[in-house]
Structure 1
Amino acid sequence: RTHAHIWEGENAAYVNALRMGAFGPHLGMALTKGSVKSYEIWERGRKKANSQTRGIIALNPINLVLKPGESYSLQWNLFVHNGNEDFRRQLLERGSVIASCPKYIYEKGETIKMEVHSTRPLKKYSAQMNGVPVAVTPNKDSYIVKVPAGQAGKVRIDFFYDDGKQTHADLLIIDNEKELIRKRVDFIRTHQQMTDPKDPRFGAYMVYDNEGDSIYPNNTPNCNPVDRDEGAERVGMGVLLAKQYRLTKDKLLKTSLLNYAHFLREKLQTKDYVTYSSVDQTNRNRGYNYIWVADFYFQMYQATGNKLYAVHGYQTLQSMFRQFGYGFYAIGIPVQLGLQSLKKADMTKEYKKLLSDFVKTGDVFIKNGLNYPAHEVNYEQSIVAPAIQFLAQLYLVTKDNKYLDEVKRQMPVVEAFNGFQPSYHLNEVGIRHWDGHWFGKREMFGDTFPHYWSSITGAVYYYYALCTGDKSYMERAQNVVRNNLCLFFEDGRASCAYMYPYKINGIKAQFYDPYANDQDWALVYYLLVNHGI
C-alpha cells in the first residue's frame, strides 16, 4: 500500500515508499554500502492479480565477479520519515548524496545543469557526460555541473566522489519542442489517418505499428482488441490536431480534422449521441468516450467557430450524464472549455444546464472525498488526478471556495504518485504499471515510465497554480509534460509506453513499445500547460 519510488543511483540508490493516501509515517531505504544499478519486476501477469498489483520489486547490485577470497557487501538503512523533505534530510544524514536538475529534457543549445547535494565535503569529486569529462564547481553544500546541450539524444551525467563512489542523472536532448510537436502532428495526418474510402473507419486516426511501418488495422489476435480500436483513447489524436490547428490554422490539418469529425459523429455515435469505441457500435460504451469526444468537438468549435460543434459537444456530455450519472471520475472533463464554448456560441440555456450538471458532479466528488471508487483499475493516479482537475476547474468557473478547499485536501494524494528521481523517465512521473500490456504490441506488464496519463497530474498542477497563484506548481506542471516528450521521436513517430525496469518476469525490458497508440494525450496536456488551450 505504498508508492515505491526507486532510484537505482549506484552508491546513492534509495527507495522512497510513500503511503497511498499520503498519510505518514512513510518508509525509506538508503543504501549505505555497495551499489545498485537497476531493478526488476517479478510475478506480473494475467494470473498474478492482473493490473491490480505492481509485483515484486528486486533491486540489482552491480555486475561483479568475486575471485577466491574476495568479498562484496551491500548495506542499507530502513527508516521512518514524514514526507519527501524529511526523506531527503535523512538520506543526507546517512551520508548519501542527492542529484537533481532544474529540468530533465533540454533543447539543443540550452545549458544543462546538474547539482549534487551533500551535507559533508566530498573527496576527489569529478563528473562525466556520456563518458567525457566535464567540470564540477563546488558550491555551498552542493557540487554543480554545467554543460551545453549538444546533439539530440540521451545524456547520462555521472558524478564520482569519495574514492570510487558514483551516482548519475539521466537527461534527454531534443532539437526543438515546438518542432517535435509539429512533426508528430504531421505524422498522424499523413500516416495514421484511415484514407481508404471503402473502409468503414475512413477518417479515423488509427494505431500505428512502427515495426511494420503501417497502420495496425486490429486484425490479429491480441490481449484486448478494444484497446487498439478506432475510438476511445485514440480520440486524443483528434484533440491534439484540433489544438494544433487552433495555433497554426494549417489548411491541411483542417481537411484532416473535418474528415475525422465526420467519422466521429457518423460512425462512433448514434443519433442521440450514444458513443461507442468502434464503428460496429457494439464495443465499449464507456463513460470516458463521451468526455474525449466532447473535448474534441469543443476544440473544433474554438478552432472553426462552427456552432454545430458546440451543439455536438453539449449533446455528447448530456448523453453521458443520462447514462452514467454524476459519479464517474472521467479523465479530462472539459469544464472550462465546454462552458466557454457554450457561452461564446450564445447557448445560454445549455450553458446553465451544463453548469448544473458539473455542480452535481462536484458535489459527488466532494462527498466521496478520499474514498475514491474503483474504476478499471482499483486505485490509480488517473482516478485521483481527474477528480482534482475537475474540482479545480469548477472553482475557477464558480469561485466557490468549497471546491478549492477540497482540491487542497486531495492534492497530497495525487502528489504521492510522483517521485523526484533525477531522470526524465521518473521525475514527476506518476507510477503506472499495466498500460504496456493492454495497449502495447509486446503486451508486457510492468512499470511504464513515463506513461502518457502521468501528464494529467501536470494538468492538476497547472490548474492548482491558476487557483492559488503558487508558481512552483506551474514549474512542476511543465516538468511533468516536458518529461513525457520522450515518447515522441524526431521523425514524428511515437510510443505508447516505455517499459522502464531492467527486466520484467525475467524478460529484458528498457524499451519503447512499437505501437503508437494512445500516447498523444501527453501532447494535448503539453499544449494546455504551455499554451493554455
Structure 2
Amino acid sequence: MTDHAITLPVGPGTVLLDPNDGAPLQFVDPDAADRRFLLDETTDAFHSSEHRWGSGFVITNVGSTRWSQPAERRLDGPGVQLTYPLLDTLTLTVTRTGGERLLERYELTNTGAAPLVVTSLGINTPFRDLYESAATSLAQAVHAHVWTGGADAWVWAQPMSGTGRSLGLIVRSGALWSYSVESRNQNSSSNVRGHLLLQATDLARNSTAFGGQPPIEIASGESWLLEWEVGFFASREAFLAASTPQLTVDRLYAEVGQQITVLGNTAGLRVDGEASVEREGERVAVTGTQHGAVHLSTDSAQTAVLFHSPLPDLVRRRVRFILDQHRPTERPLPYRYAFVPYDTATGLTQTTNGWADWSDGAERVAMPALLQEARRRGWVDSPGEVDEALVGFADFARNLLLDESAAPRWGSTVKAPVRIYNSPWLAHFFATQHDHGGADDDLDLAARILERSFELGAGEHLSIGHPEALVLVTERLLEAGQADRATGLRDLLVQQAAHFAKITVNLPSHEVNYEQSMVAPLVTLYAVAEQLEGQDRFLGPLDQAVRWLRAFGGPQPHIRLNEIGIRHWDGYWFGRDRQWGDIFPHHWSVLTAVALRQLPTTMRTAESDSAAREIFHANLINIFADGSATCAFTVPSAVDGRPGYRADPLANDQDWPLTLWLRQLESGDV
C-alpha cells in the first residue's frame, strides 16, 4: 500500500500519504521502525479505508454526510490540498504541509445564500491503540491520550513501552470539544480501543457531553477553520511545553467547602455544578457546595474538577448504602449474605442472568472488604450490623465461593471454570476477618486459598491483589508461630517474580491480552519480592515495569482523565447498558496508585506520590453524594453512534478504589 506513497517530512521522521486520497497512512520514526502510530489496513482486521486519517462526518441544519475520497487532489509544494464537496452548500478543503511538524487545515466553506449551522463534526485519527500480545503491544502500539479541551485540545500518542518518541497532535486554531469512538462492539471486543474521532462539536448527538457542545455557525460565503499540527516529541515534558493552554486550574479536586482557583482567559467562565464563584480580576475561585463533578467552560476552553465529601463521610454513606441496597435479602440462608449489583435506575438488585460479571462473587468481594476497612477505622454508623453482615458473608463465601480444595468459584450460581483472579481477594478477606475476630480457621483458610492458587497457576499469573494478600497472610502466619508455612508462601512469591523477570516483555495474556491491571500487579510483585529478598535483583525489572505502567495514564487536565489508565471495556462486561468505549476512571485505575505507593523509597518521588493521590481522588467521582454509585462512566460523547459521557445505572464493581485506598491510607492523603 505504501510502495508509492507520498512522503512528507515531519521533524526527524516522515508521514506517508496515500497517493490517491492524500490520507496519512503512517507516521514513521526512524529510531523505532517497528512502531506503528496509526492503524494499518494490511494487518489490523477491523481497520479499513473508511476510517483513514482525516476522513469524517458532518451533521448540519441542511443535511448530514461523511467524507473519505476527495473530488480533487493537488500537490502543493511540500504537501497536498484536497477538496470534498460535502453538501449542496458546504465544501471542505483539507491541506497537509510537511516540515518540522505536519500542519493540517480543515476549512469548511458555506457556499449557499443562507447561514449554515454545523451540529456535529468528527475527524478520524486512527491511532494504533490496541492490544495484541504484550510483547507486540510494547514494541509497536501506542496509548492515545485524548484531551478535547476546546482550543486547548491535543492528543498525545505515547509508545506503550514508555520509551522513545511520542507523536503529538496540538490544536492551533479552532477548537475540539469532544471525541467519539467507532468500531467498538462485540466483534472488536476488549483488545481493541476502536477508531478515535476528534470532534469540533457533537451537539447533534450528545449536547451535554464534556459540559456542553457549542454549534458551529457559518455565515453565507464565510469559512470555518480548524488547524492542528502533528509532530514527534522526545518526552511528556517537551510535548506539554509545546501546548499553550488558555484555561488552567490549580488542582483538579478539593473537599466540599474548599476552593479551586481557575486561571488564564476566564472571561465568561461558566460553572456547571454545585459550586459558588468569586472573581478577582482574571482569577476565579470556585467553591464546591456538594459532592460531585463541576464543569468549567468559556467560549474557548473547558475542563472538569471534583469537589468531594470528606473521605470518612463518603465511606459511611457508601457502607450504609451497601447494607441497605446491595444484599439479596429475598434469598434463603446463606445466599442472602452475599453482596450483589444494584440498579440505581430501578431500585432493584441485579440477578446474575447467566452473566458472570453480575455474579455474587468475584469483584463483588470489594463490598464486604470495604465494610471490613471501614469497620477497622470506625467509619461506620452501626458496628454491630456491619459485624453481622461480615460474619454472614464469611459463611457464604466459605461454603459457596470456594470449592472443597479452596479454589475460587466465580459466584454461587455461576457454572464457570475456576477464576484465579478471585483467590487473593478472598484470601485477604479471610485474613482480615481473622484480625477482627481472631478465628484460627479464618487464617488457615486464607493460607489455603493462596497455596491452592499457586497450584492453579498463580506463579505465572498477574492476579490483582495477590502480592498484598500474600504479605498480609504470611505476616499473620508468623505471628501465629507458623514460620515454615509463611516462608513457603514467600518463597513462591519470589519465584513468581523471578519467572516474570526472566520472560520480560513476554507476559502471558489474561482475560485481556495486555492491560494496565496486569502491569500494576507486576510492579507490586517486583516491589514486594525486592523487599522480601533485599538483593537488588528485581530493581531493573521493576524500573522497566513502572515505565510500562505510567504509559497507560496521560496528563489531561480533567478530573476523569488525569493519570487514569486507559480501559475501554468495563461498561460492556460490568454495566447494565452493555456499552463499550473508554471508561474513565475505571475502578482498577487505582492499581497504579497502589503500585506507586509500594515502590522502594529510592524510587518514590513527589511526582509519583502526587499521581497516586490524583488517581485515588478521581475515583471518588463514581460514588455519589447519597452513597449510591456507578460501575462505569463512558467518557466519549458517542460510541458507535450511541450517546456516551454518562454513568451506567448499575453499581457493581466500583468499591475497590475505596477499599484499596483505606488499606494503605497514609497521613496527609485527604
Same fold (TM over 0.5): yes
Q: What amino acid does structure 2 have at the position aligned with 1:192?
A: H
1:186-215: CA deviation from partner (whole Å, max 9, x where unpaired): 211222123345266221111111112021
- Note closer, same or farther for the CA distance 1:101–1:455 as it changes in structure 2 (3 Å cut): farther
Counterpart selection for 1:71 from 223, 233, 246 = 223
For structure 2, the 5+ residue unaligned runs are 1-140, 202-214
Counterpart selection for 2:337 from 203, 220, 226 = 203
- Structure 1 CA distance for aligned equivalents of residues 507 and 194 of structure 2: 22
Is 1:20 aligned with 2:160?
A: yes
- Structure 2 CA distance for aligned equivalents of residues 246 and 379 of structure 1: 35
Q: Secondary structure at the match of 2:336?
A: coil
Counterpart selection for 2:240 from 78, 82, 88 = 88
- Structure 2 CA distance for aligned equivalents of residues 198 and 17 of structure 1: 52
Counterpart selection for 2:312 from 164, 178, 181 = 178
Aligned to 1:516: 651
- Note closer, same or farther for the CA distance 1:253–1:125 as it changes in structure 2 (3 Å cut): closer
1:316-344: CA deviation from partner (whole Å, max 9, x where unpaired): 01111112151101111123222222222
8 A Cα contact 1:126 1:135, kept in partner: no
Aligned to 1:135: 279
Aligned to 1:461: 596
Deviation of 1:345 after TM superposition, in Å, equals 2.5
Counterpart selection for 2:374 from 227, 236, 244 = 244
Is 1:50 aligned with 2:194?
A: no
Aligned to 2:323: 189
Aligned to 1:470: 605
Deviation of 1:181 after TM superposition, in Å, equals 1.2
- Structure 2 CA distance for aligned equivalents of residues 188 and 216 of structure 1: 13
8 A Cα contact 1:396 1:467, kept in partner: no
- Note closer, same or farther for the CA distance 1:13–1:281 as it changes in structure 2 (3 Å cut): closer
Is 1:112 aligned with 2:266?
A: no
- Structure 2 CA distance for aligned equivalents of residues 189 and 150 of structure 1: 27
- Structure 2 CA distance for aligned equivalents of residues 65 and 158 of structure 1: 19
- Structure 1 CA distance for aligned equivalents of residues 460 and 472 of structure 2: 20
Alignment of 1:317-466 (within 5 A): 317-333=450-466, 334-464=469-599, 466=601
Aligned to 2:301: 167
- Structure 2 CA distance for aligned equivalents of residues 33 and 154 of structure 1: 28
Aligned to 1:121: none
Tell me how many residue pairs correspond in the alignment.
Answer: 507
- Note closer, same or farther for the CA distance 1:129–1:302 as it changes in structure 2 (3 Å cut): farther
8 A Cα contact 2:318 2:623, kept in partner: yes
1:338-386: CA deviation from partner (whole Å, max 9, x where unpaired): 2222222322121111111111111112112233221111111111111
Deviation of 1:281 after TM superposition, in Å, equals 6.7
Deviation of 1:148 after TM superposition, in Å, equals 3.1
Aligned to 1:141: none
8 A Cα contact 1:26 1:80, kept in partner: yes
Counterpart selection for 1:155 from 290, 294, 299 = 294
More helix by share: 1
8 A Cα contact 2:552 2:565, kept in partner: yes
- Structure 1 CA distance for aligned equivalents of residues 536 and 617 of structure 2: 31
8 A Cα contact 1:335 1:390, kept in partner: no
Counterpart selection for 1:235 from 340, 350, 365 = 365
1:482-523: CA deviation from partner (whole Å, max 9, x where unpaired): 100111011111111100011111111111111111111111
Counterpart selection for 2:356 from 210, 226, 233 = 226
1:363-419: CA deviation from partner (whole Å, max 9, x where unpaired): 112112233221111111111111001221222333332223321121111101101
- Structure 1 CA distance for aligned equivalents of residues 292 and 403 of structure 2: 46
- Structure 2 CA distance for aligned equivalents of residues 266 and 238 of structure 1: 16
Q: What amino acid does structure 2 have at the position aligned with 1:479?
A: E
- Structure 1 CA distance for aligned equivalents of residues 485 and 611 of structure 2: 35
Counterpart selection for 1:29 from 160, 169, 188 = 169
Q: What amino acid does structure 2 have at the position aligned with 1:6?
A: V
Q: Secondary structure at the match of 1:335?
A: helix
Task: Tell me whether 169-178 or 481-490 shows the greater mean CA deviation.
Answer: 169-178
- Structure 2 CA distance for aligned equivalents of residues 204 and 107 of structure 1: 33
Aligned to 1:120: none
TM-score (norm 1): 0.90
1:420-443: CA deviation from partner (whole Å, max 9, x where unpaired): 111111011110001100110000
Aligned to 1:260: 393
Q: What amino acid does structure 1 have at the position aligned with 2:375?
A: Y
More strand by share: 2
8 A Cα contact 1:153 1:173, kept in partner: yes
Q: What amino acid does structure 1 have at the position aligned with 2:245?
A: V
Deviation of 1:146 after TM superposition, in Å, equals 3.6
Q: Secondary structure at the match of 2:537?
A: helix
Q: Secondary structure at the match of 1:202?
A: helix
- Structure 1 CA distance for aligned equivalents of residues 437 and 531 of structure 2: 25
Counterpart selection for 1:315 from 448, 468, 471 = 448
Task: Tell me whether 174-183 or 379-388 shows the greater mean CA deviation.
Answer: 174-183
Q: What amino acid does structure 1 have at the position aligned with 2:234?
A: N
Q: What amino acid does structure 1 have at the position aligned with 2:259?
A: T
Q: What amino acid does structure 2 have at the position aligned with 1:44?
A: R
Task: Tell me whether 29-38 or 305-314 shows the greater mean CA deviation.
Answer: 305-314
1:105-155: CA deviation from partner (whole Å, max 9, x where unpaired): 321122213455xxxxxxx763625178753677xxxxx644433333332
Aligned to 1:97: 245
Q: Secondary structure at the match of 1:336?
A: helix
- Note closer, same or farther for the CA distance 1:253–1:404 as it changes in structure 2 (3 Å cut): farther
Aligned to 1:162: none
Aligned to 1:289: 422
Counterpart selection for 1:40 from 169, 176, 180 = 180
Aligned identity (percent) is 28
8 A Cα contact 1:436 1:442, kept in partner: yes
- Note closer, same or farther for the CA distance 1:52–1:322 as it changes in structure 2 (3 Å cut): same
Q: What amino acid does structure 2 have at the position aligned with 1:235?
A: V
- Note closer, same or farther for the CA distance 1:357–1:292 as it changes in structure 2 (3 Å cut): same
Aligned to 1:305: 438
- Note closer, same or farther for the CA distance 1:136–1:97 as it changes in structure 2 (3 Å cut): farther
- Note closer, same or farther for the CA distance 1:85–1:528 as it changes in structure 2 (3 Å cut): farther
- Structure 2 CA distance for aligned equivalents of residues 427 and 218 of structure 1: 34
Q: Secondary structure at the match of 2:459?
A: coil
TM-score (norm 2): 0.72
- Note closer, same or farther for the CA distance 1:518–1:103 as it changes in structure 2 (3 Å cut): same
- Note closer, same or farther for the CA distance 1:280–1:436 as it changes in structure 2 (3 Å cut): closer
Q: What amino acid does structure 2 have at the position aligned with 1:174?
A: H
Q: Secondary structure at the match of 1:27?
A: strand
Q: What amino acid does structure 2 have at the position aligned with 1:502?
A: S
Deviation of 1:531 after TM superposition, in Å, equals 4.6
Deviation of 1:244 after TM superposition, in Å, equals 1.4
8 A Cα contact 2:343 2:649, kept in partner: yes
